[in-house]
Chain A
Amino acid sequence: MARPDRRDPSQIRALHCVLGQLNRVDGSAQFSAGDTSVLCGVYGPVDVKLYDEKLDRAHIEVKFRPDIGVPTTKDKWVEDAVRSTFEREILGQLHPRTLVQINVQVCQGDGSVDAAAINATTLALIDAGIPLRAMVAAATCVVRSDHSIIVDPTQEEADSALSTHTFAFSNLQTNSPAYVDSRGEFSIDEYNACYDMCMAAVDRTLAFMRTVVEGKILKETQTAL
Chain B
Amino acid sequence: MASTEQLTFAIETFKRIHPVEFQRRFLSQDTRHDGRAFLQFRATHVVKGTIGTAQGSATVRIGNTTVVCGIKAEVSEPDVNTPDQGYLATNVDLSPICSANYRPGAPGDEAQVDSEHIFRLFGEVVDLKQLCIENDQAVWSLSADIVCLKSDGNVLDAAIIALMAAVEDLKLPQASLDPATGVVSADKAIETQLTLRKRLFPATFSLVDDAYLVADADDAEERLATATLLVVLDDQGRLANVWKRGAGTIDRPTIARCIAEAKNHQNAVSSALE
Complex: A87 Cα to B121 Cα, angstroms: 25
State whether A79 touches B244 (Cβ < 8 A).
no
Q: What count of chain B residues pass the 8 Å CB interface test?
A: 31
Q: What count of chain A residues pass the 8 Å CB interface test?
A: 26
Answer whether A175 and B116 are a contact pair too, CB < 8 Å, given A183-B241, A188-B239, A191-B239: no
Does A81 have its Cβ within 8 Å of any Cβ on chain B? yes
State whether B251 touches A187 (Cβ < 8 A).
no
Answer whether A81 and B239 are a contact pair too, CB < 8 Å, given A73-B112, A74-B116: no
Cβ 8 A contact of B240, one of A76, A80, A87, A183 = A183
Answer whether A182 and B241 are a contact pair too, CB < 8 Å, given A176-B250, A188-B259: yes
Q: Mark B106-140, 1 if CB is under 8 A from A, else 0.
A: 00010011011101110010000000000000000
Does B19 have its Cβ within 8 Å of any Cβ on chain A? no
Contacts of A77 in B (CB 8 A): 112-113, 116-117
Cβ 8 A contact of B112, one of A76, A186, A195 = A76
Chain B binding site: helix, strand, loop or mixed by DSSP?
A: mixed
Complex: A179 Cα to B256 Cα, angstroms: 15
Contacts of A176 in B (CB 8 A): 249-252
State whether A186 touches B244 (Cβ < 8 A).
no
Answer whether A84 and B246 are a contact pair too, CB < 8 Å, given A73-B112, A76-B113: yes
Answer whether A187 and B244 are a contact pair too, CB < 8 Å, given A77-B113, A176-B252: no
State whether B238 touches A80 (Cβ < 8 A).
no
Chain B interfacial positions (CB closer than 8 Å to A): 109, 112-113, 115-117, 119-121, 124, 198, 229, 234, 238-252, 255-256, 259
Chain A interfacial positions (CB closer than 8 Å to B): 73-74, 76-77, 79-81, 84, 87-88, 173, 175-177, 179-188, 191, 195
